[in-house]
Chain A
């Protein structure tokens, strides 16, 4: 499905509102939308909501052999998916420019900033390392995908626990969660992306643009930063020229936003851990707001299945017993047998038609032959006189559609038309040439 284009008046309205320092959702220029983090029952599963933008993150791990040039380092893999659920314009299984750009930015933000200690993921140097895979699914697109995805990725990584492993000599033991508590990943710092949208060649700036604002913006600046105010990645796109002061001001704002978000993430992680420790209820079921009119819950319901057997017996008793078929294999010829009742073979009729077709096919072959030759010459003539080609092609179609017609007749017809339209000697000569070439 195609994206609904933004109308000119909508565009003008948005830009004028931005000029007047107003935003459609009532935010101020530097306001970030509300961030909500909820965790699933599994480790490493979270949903991050940034306003209406929603990203599902899931971390999984696997023991693999390491890369040849990095024998002692674990592997980190990021995969952001733009599901069609998020917006109708996203097609499933297509690598769009936006997707490639976002994935690359995520990798730069999280892998290249070395926020995860990859050496601690090594089990046996050169043989077995952990591969950590971060799957991010965009569920709803309301702008600023990258910020939401980067928060979801780092939250999922912080929440994740991998199975414990022990190495004794050559023996590697993998423990199930029941045997030993899974261990968290060692995370050095938490880089978070903050996006800035620029309008009117950088005159106006907005933090955390929503979908509508993203559509009318001129340029985008993404700064990935951790709470120690260390810049991990900075990317400017859209082809706007920014002044040094602007970038510095953005980095200052990013510092403030990142500090706020990091605090929120830590609070959410602590809260989830506390609930898990106390044995309380956790998971997405608990994060559904009860007071919402669109939400509804039902406690587990017992179902009376005492009469199931009687019902089943009743149905079977009522049902007619299946007709008993005693299959006696009949050996026709060695290697060919028949099982079941000897029903008249309906394929017999087909054979007849096939025969007919074959006969027809012979005719066609002749015709095709003639066409080939004719088209060969026509293409040469066609350079001089275009309409001939058209008329000829019509003839071709006519011949193929009606193979029953007498081929000779057609042939004479075609030749006649030729003679009418083209000089009489020329085609004959050319035909001879063609044959010689073949």
Chain B
């Protein structure tokens, strides 16, 4: 079984459309992040996972419309803009998932009657888009200095017809997969903040994917830590 999965991933990497070859076994694509690249928003970040790229801008805590005002906490708003055409149902569901994740970690009670607006722009979609959106959101919130009780990251994994697990899939891998699972995890206890799945999988497979996502999240959080260390270093 183990052997079979390994050869499978190898075959997939050879046919993948990625510019660089993926190593054997599960791996995350190369990551890149740039913070504070836009001058107008309070915080902004561009997050790249392989060829998938998302740009996030955060305004807040700022003035809120009276109709949207919540008297004991900040109003969180997430806007996701597709690259081509107008936003549709798919974008709305993603917006909601991201907003729910943010609401779980952002300490909105510290800024009552304000608005925190996250605007996300898809720059290129090459798989694991929701995970990349979540990562970009987190980095932008950090850049804006919004108080949070923990950082969060998104990890996507797929199961193909043989039950082989692939982390951070490309668009092609997502298309061929039997099930696509996306998790949002917090940085303190690696607890699950949000999960969304598509396709057919067993209970055991779900826990496998979750465990793999938790393992992958350590790398993402290390990436966060190192990039912030670099940012706040003196040199």
Interface residues, chain A, with chain B CB atoms under 8 Å away: 1-2, 40-42, 45, 47, 52, 54, 56, 58, 60, 81, 83-88, 92, 133, 135, 137, 139-142, 281-285, 288, 292-309, 311-313, 315-316
Contact = CB atoms under 8 A, between A and B. Distances in A.
A316 B79 CA distance: 37
Contacts of A42: 124
B100 interface: no
A297 B85 contact: no
29 contacts: A1-B59, A1-B63, A83-B81, A83-B119, A84-B117, A84-B119, A85-B38, A88-B62, A139-B121, A282-B19, A283-B124, A285-B51, A285-B53, A288-B32, A288-B46, A292-B34, A294-B36, A295-B34, A297-B33, A300-B20, A300-B23, A301-B31, A304-B25, A305-B212, A308-B215, A309-B208, A311-B208, A313-B204, A316-B204
Interface residues of B, number: 64
B178 interface: no
A220 B209 CA distance: 57
Given A40-B53, A84-B79, A305-B167, 20 more contacts: A40-B124, A52-B38, A84-B57, A85-B57, A133-B84, A140-B39, A285-B32, A285-B48, A294-B35, A296-B32, A300-B22, A300-B27, A300-B30, A301-B28, A303-B27, A303-B28, A305-B25, A308-B212, A312-B210, A315-B207
Nearest to B234: A293
B40 A312 contact: no
B115 interface: yes
B115 A137 contact: no
B212 A285 contact: no
A288 B30 contact: no
Nearest to A311: B211
A86 B40 contact: yes
Contacts of A297: 30-33
Nearest to B21: A300
Leading 10 A-B pairs by shortest Cβ distance: A296-B227, A312-B207, A85-B57, A85-B119, A311-B211, A312-B208, A295-B34, A298-B31, A297-B32, A140-B38
B71 interface: no
Contacts of B83: 45, 56, 58, 135, 137
A308 B223 contact: no
Given A284-B123, A293-B230, A308 B165 contact: yes
B37 interface: yes
B15 to A, nearest CB: 11
A141 B41 CA distance: 10
A137 B81 contact: yes
B93 to A, nearest CB: 17
A41 B51 contact: yes
B226 interface: yes
Interface of B: 2, 19-20, 22-23, 25-41, 44, 46, 48, 51, 53, 55, 57, 59, 62-63, 79, 81, 83-85, 115, 117, 119, 121, 123-124, 126, 165, 167, 203-208, 210-212, 215-216, 219, 223, 226-227, 230-231, 233
Contacts of B207: 311-312, 315-316
Contacts of A284: 46, 48, 53, 123-124
Contacts of A86: 40
B212 A288 contact: no
A295 B32 CA distance: 7
A54 B38 contact: yes
Contact of A85 (B20, B29, B121, B126): B121
A300 B31 CA distance: 7
Given A281-B19, A293-B231, A298-B223, A87 B30 contact: no
Contacts of A299: 30
Contacts of B55: 56, 85, 139
A84 B79 CA distance: 9
A298 B33 CA distance: 9
B231 A294 contact: yes
Contact of A81 (B20, B39, B81, B216): B81
Nearest to B17: A41
A139 B38 contact: yes
Most chain B CB within 10 A, of A142, A282, A297, is at A297
Contacts of A83: 79, 81, 119, 121
B62 A58 contact: no
A87 B203 CA distance: 45
B117 A1 contact: yes
Contacts of A308: 165, 208, 211-212, 215
Contacts of B36: 294
Contacts of B62: 1, 88
A210 to B, nearest CB: 10
Contacts of B205: 312
Contacts of B59: 1, 84, 88
B124 A305 contact: no
Contacts of B167: 303, 305
B84 A60 contact: yes
A181 to B, nearest CB: 15
Contacts of A306: 2
A300 B29 contact: yes
A303 B215 CA distance: 7
